Structure 1
Amino acid sequence: MKFEELRPILWTEKLDETIDFYTKTLDFTCDERNDDWGWASLHRDAIVIMLAKPNSHEGFVKPTFTGSFYISINDVDSFWDKLKDKANICYPIENFEWGMREFAIYDNNGYILQFGQDIPN
């Protein structure tokens, strides 16, 4: 048995606004959307994120995810330059002792998205 991929589903009551954030700010593509279900699937390169409006059995109030989504990219400085004036910054770009250059933003729902790149030795 082999795990093949992880596709997080982010709950949001603001489906249109969230699709706009991911497609217009982060350059994701909306591959599929079903308004009857309140659901959409987006991707950028190998990263897939699904969005869903909460339904009655989920008991959603607001995002309570206590972690972050870490996305490895190959040119973190260019992406930082693109986002630094367009997104709500969690922490600015910097080099960390564990060998990563990274930064983090909040999406329109308050989820933390981290972007990082290995620092060459």
Structure 2
Amino acid sequence: MDIQNNRPSILNAAAIFFATNRQNTLNYYSKLGFSCNESFGFVQLDGLEFIVHETGNLDNIRPNYPTHGPEALDLFCMVQGVEELYDRFTSRGASIRFELRISEYGMKEFAIQDPDGYSIGFGESLID
């Protein structure tokens, strides 16, 4: 609880991705430099955190792409140093969903895709 205002506050949020093989997915993110908690499936890199759960039901795996179109992502992160992050991920074997580009809305961005098809975009604003 926020003691100064005596009201509850949200401290963090984490999306949940369902995986066909949780260990395989955690290994993928680990090789990209994410911290992965093997026991609970938490995946974290700087301010990005999400949870990976294993499921035997393939219907539970529902990435936004391609169902919602070619630009659909499951997470989007604002970053500093997008080019360096892109280089880090590509040098570690990331599956690139779309290459580093400049968007029509003033972002330099790219996206990775995990073994179950979930996409995470990373972008840096080019507008002051």
Normalising by structure 1, we get a TM-score of 0.78
SS at match of 2:63: coil
* Alpha-carbon distance between aligned partners in 2 of 1:32 and 1:14, rounded to the nearest angstrom: 12
Pick from 98, 102, 108: which aligns with 2:109?
102
* Alpha-carbon distance between aligned partners in 2 of 1:48 and 1:105, rounded to the nearest angstrom: 15
Normalising by structure 2, we get a TM-score of 0.74
Rg: which structure is higher? Answer: 2
1:97 deviates by 2.2
* Alpha-carbon distance between aligned partners in 1 of 2:46 and 2:94, rounded to the nearest angstrom: 21
- Report what 1:40 is aligned to: 41
SS at match of 2:28: helix
Equivalent runs, 1:1-121 vs 2, <5 Å: 2-25=9-32, 27-31=33-37, 33=39, 39-54=40-55, 59-61=57-59, 63-66=61-64, 67-84=73-90, 86-121=93-128
* Alpha-carbon distance between aligned partners in 2 of 1:3 and 1:99, rounded to the nearest angstrom: 30
Aligned AA (1:16): Q
Identical-residue share of aligned pairs (%): 21
RMSD in angstroms over aligned alpha carbons? 2.1
Cα displacement string for residues 71-98 of structure 1 (whole angstroms, at most 9, x for unaligned residues): 1211110111122351222211111121
* Alpha-carbon distance between aligned partners in 2 of 1:84 and 1:61, rounded to the nearest angstrom: 30
Indicate how the Cα distance of structure 1 residues 82 and 8 shifts in structure 2: closer, same or farther if over 3 A, else same. Answer: same
SS at match of 2:43: strand
1:99 deviates by 1.5
Query: Normalized per residue, which structure has more strand?
Result: 1
Quick check: 1:104–1:113 contact (8 Å CA) kept in 2?
yes
Quick check: 1:32–1:42 contact (8 Å CA) kept in 2?
no
Stretches of structure 1 lacking an aligned partner (at least 5 in a row): 34-38
* Alpha-carbon distance between aligned partners in 2 of 1:10 and 1:21, rounded to the nearest angstrom: 14
Stretches of structure 2 lacking an aligned partner (at least 5 in a row): 1-7, 65-72
Quick check: 1:76–1:115 contact (8 Å CA) kept in 2?
yes
